[in-house]
Amino acid sequence: MEQALGVRIGVSGTALKIAGPHAEQTLAGKVFGELYELLKRGYPVYPSDVEYAVRILRGDRNAELQDIFLDTIYVSAHKRVISPKSINQKLYIDAIRNHDIVFGIGPAGTGKTYLAMAMALAALMKNQVTRMVLCRPAVEAGEKLGFLPGDLAEKVNPYLRPLYDALHDMVDFDRARRMLERGTIEVAPLAFMRGRTLNDSFIILDEAQNTTSEQMKMFLTRLGYNSKAVITGDITQIDLPSGKLSGLKEARIVLGGTKGIEFIYFTDRDVVRHRLVQSIIAAYESFNTEGPSQPSARDGNHQS
């Protein structure tokens, strides 16, 4: 708290004494008060939650942390409560609840896919849907992998590994395996969606920035009765061949005003990975906007 807000905090008995500029003092008091209310409600506050709380309340002094942190989506296999950690994440899960098609667009680490999977699993456990379908386009991320050995499933599995990782983080391995074997959960490359109609399903398309225009239209028209679709992607990390229009970028324009479809945009302030990830994203955005700054002597580029 001291590092984030530039204040000094002392403890006297059961009282906290906060010293520093008035605005930061007030904000620190608000953060402590909100976190204490969470603790009284039984919410386990971790060090990372303090960072998220400061970030949320710095952006909106009127925000109520209870409305965000106590909105439990799912309890993972590790008994960890999955809930939103920013205002945009709260807007995102509310959009998924209230709309059949939701686009989550923003940088890596903002919880777009993870929260969508938690919502899908919650819907599956409550029998609101009968299956969960996870897919992503099989596109190489800026590198040529060459020939991959094995049958078709073995060739595409490396592209789907991030989805399996997130799944196993939420569901214990044996249970996930049984659900995959029964087809209750399906993980597949986007190309396998062609020609299908998905009823009673919760469908997630990950890395959607790497879909072509045709693939995006194909995916969106797979939606059947009593189904939801969540499309996630980062339009700053497109790995399509040069000259190919991203289906995600096009969908923003084509479907932006369509009733029943919601677009939620994330920023670096919504990052919930290692604290340095937020700084890395901000630095790259600044670099792309303003251009490179001149290296200093300490960068190792000076000559002796």
- How far is residue 272's CA from residue 49's CA, in Å, rounded to a whole number? 10
Q: What is the mean pLDDT of residues 21-31?
A: 93
Whether residue 144 has pLDDT greater than 80: no
In the structure encoding, which two tokens stand for residue 156, read together? Answer: 């595409």
Whether residue 274 has pLDDT greater than 80: no
Closest listed residue to residue 161, CA positions, set 179, 184, 187: 187
Whether residue 117 has pLDDT greater than 80: yes
**pLDDT reported for residue 96:** 96
Whether residue 202 has pLDDT greater than 80: yes
Q: Which helix (H) or strand (E) holds 248?
A: helix 247-254
What φ, ψ does residue 175 adopt, rounded to 5°?
Answer: -65, -40
Whether residue 291 has pLDDT greater than 70: no
- List pLDDT tens digits, range 211-248: 999 999 999 999 999 999 999 999 988 888 888 899 99
Q: What is the mean pLDDT of residues 157-167?
A: 77
Asked whether 203 and 227 are in contact (CB, 8 A), the reply is yes
**pLDDT reported for residue 48:** 86
Q: Which of 100-109, 127-136, 137-146, 282-291 has the lowest mean pLDDT?
A: 137-146
**pLDDT reported for residue 239:** 86
**pLDDT reported for residue 302:** 47
pLDDT band of residue 304 (cuts 50, 70, 90) is very low
Q: For the chain, what is the mean pLDDT?
A: 86
Q: Which residues make beta-bridge pairs with 82?
A: 74
Name which residue leads in pLDDT, 257 or 299: 257
Name which residue leads in pLDDT, 33 or 301: 33
Name which residue leads in pLDDT, 132 or 79: 132
DSSP letter at 246 equals B
Whether residue 288 has pLDDT greater than 90: no
Q: What is the mean pLDDT of residues 117-140?
A: 89
**Alpha helices per DSSP H over 14-146:** 22-40, 47-59, 65-69, 87-98, 112-125
**pLDDT reported for residue 46:** 86
Closest listed residue to residue 207, CA positions, set 172, 165, 256, 240: 240
